[in-house]
Amino acid sequence: MKQFHIDLEYGDIGKYVILTGDPGRVPHIAELLDSPTFVSSKREYVCYNGFLAGERVSVLSTGIGGPSAAIAVTEAVKCGAHTFIRIGTAGGIKTDVKGGDTVIATAAIRQEGTSDHYAPKEYPATADFSVTEALVNAARESDCDFHAGVIQSKDSFYGQHEPENSPVSYELLSKWESYLKLGVLCSEMECAAIFTVAASLGVRAGALLHILWNKDRQKLSLPDTESFDMSTTLSCLITALKRLIESER
């Protein structure tokens, strides 16, 4: 039976799934696999299959935010997937993190609502160690500037970028200041939900993020380049996933 949202059934996708928010990115990421083929498109969920190290791998979009990402993971697990790696974009928080850098999320602050439906608030949203280790090893061997650590997941894009317009600006700004002091690396909108849902279903998830910019560096008049070229981050992802597949064969 086909899943209600992603329009796939058991066996339609690989056990290893690359998740990306933007449906438009799916065919471009799939081109990095061998023999990429279109599988399905429904709502925000576009899926392509390909092969990596002889293993079928899927690329599936999640749309923006935790609710749609949780649906993608839940239904993909029902279709046979067991390992998920999110590739996406983020804005830097820690001032060491610059536009063009790569961030590997080891855990995510659950400043979103979706994960509350899968785990009590005190449960941490953490990435799988084996997936994270593969990503870190691939990044170390590449020419990218990368960071590994805690990130923030949120529900409101403009709550971050225009907090002064919110009636609860005092809360948003004070929490952001605490994230800076705690060395949180970057901010995005899906990882906490993906990590928590994966844990609740007994599968693995990790994340690799391309930093678009760091507004806090700009406020401090530190050099920062807006970067939309994800090629280096994508190269790390493919290398890591290929080696993970080979090590588990």
Q: What pLDDT does residue 143 have?
A: 80
> Within 13 Å and on the Cβ side, how many CA atoms surround 245?
20
Q: Which tokens hold the place of 188?
A: 């995005």
Is 4 part of any domain?
Answer: no
Is 8 part of any domain?
Answer: no
Please give the average per-residue pLDDT across 203-220, as a whole number: 95
CA distance 11 to 21: 23
- pLDDT band at residue 230, thresholds of 50, 70 and 90? very high
Of 196, 211, 239, 222, which Cα lies nearest the Cα of 103? Answer: 211
Is 3 part of any domain?
Answer: no
Is 6 part of any domain?
Answer: no
pLDDT tens for 21-36 read: 999 999 999 999 999 9
Is 7 part of any domain?
Answer: no
Counts of helices then strands in the chain (DSSP H, E): 8, 10
Q: Which residue has the tokens 């409101």?
A: 156
In the chain, % of residues over pLDDT 70: 100
Q: What pLDDT does residue 160 have?
A: 86
Tell me how crowded residue 64 is: count the other CB atoms within 10 A of its CB: 16
Q: What pLDDT does residue 248 have?
A: 96
Please give the average per-residue pLDDT across 91-116, as a whole number: 97
Residue 123 belongs to domain spanning: 16-248
CA distance 74 to 70: 6
Please give the average per-residue pLDDT across 58-76, as a whole number: 98
Instruction: Tell me if 103 sits within 8 A of 150, measured CB to CB.
Output: no
Is 1 part of any domain?
Answer: no
Q: How many domains does the chain fold into?
A: 1
Q: What pLDDT does residue 144 have?
A: 86
Is 5 part of any domain?
Answer: no
Q: Residue 91 pLDDT more than 90? A: yes
CA distance 249 to 245: 6
Give pTM, 2 decimals.
Answer: 0.97
Q: What pLDDT does residue 193 have?
A: 98
Q: Residue 219 pLDDT more than 90? A: no
Is 205 part of any domain?
Answer: yes
Q: What pLDDT does residue 200 have?
A: 98
Which CATH number do you get for residue 80?
Answer: 3.40.50.1580
pLDDT tens for 128-174 read: 999 999 999 999 999 889 999 999 999 999 998 899 999 999 999 99
Q: What pLDDT does residue 38 have?
A: 98
Q: Residue 120 pLDDT more than 90? A: yes
DSSP string, 26-92: HHHHHTTSEEEEEEEEETTEEEEEEEETTEEEEEEE--SSHHHHHHHHHHHHHTT--EEEEEEEEEE
As beta bridge partners, residue 8 has: none
Report the mean per-residue pLDDT for the chain: 97
Pairing of strands 125-126, 55-61: unpaired
